[in-house]
Amino acid sequence: MTRHALAGFGLGMMVWLGWLIPFHRLPLPEHYGASALALALLTFLLGASFTRLRNTPSTLVAAAAATALWSGSLGAFDAGHARWLGPIMLIAACASLVHSAFTTHAATSTRVAAVLRDLAAGCVLAVAMLAIFLPLARLRMPILTVVSMLAIAWVARAIARPASR
Of the pLDDT bands very low, low, confident and very high (cuts 50, 70, 90), residue 40 is very high
Amino acid of residue 71 = S
Distance of CA 123 to the CA centre of its chain: 7
Could you tell me the CA-to-CA distances from 136 to 31, 106, 130, 152 in Å, in that order? 18, 41, 10, 23
pLDDT at residue 68 greater than cutoff 60: yes
pTM: 0.85
Q: What is the mean pLDDT of residues 66-83?
A: 75
User: What share of the chain in percent tops pLDDT 70?
Assistant: 88
Would you say 121 and 103 are in contact if contact means Cβ atoms under 8 Å apart?
no
Domain limits of the chain? 3-164
- pLDDT tens by residue, 78-134: 656 667 888 999 999 999 999 988 888 888 899 999 999 999 999 999 999 999 988
Of the candidates 112, 98, 107, 94, which has an alpha carbon nearest to the alpha carbon of residue 16? 94
Q: Check residue 76 and report its DSSP letter.
A: S
Query: Cα–Cα distance between 125 and 110 in angstroms, integer?
Result: 22
C-alpha distances in angstroms, 149 versus 5, 12, 52, 104, 127?
Answer: 17, 12, 26, 22, 12
First-to-final CA distance of the chain: 21
Report which DSSP code applies to 107. S
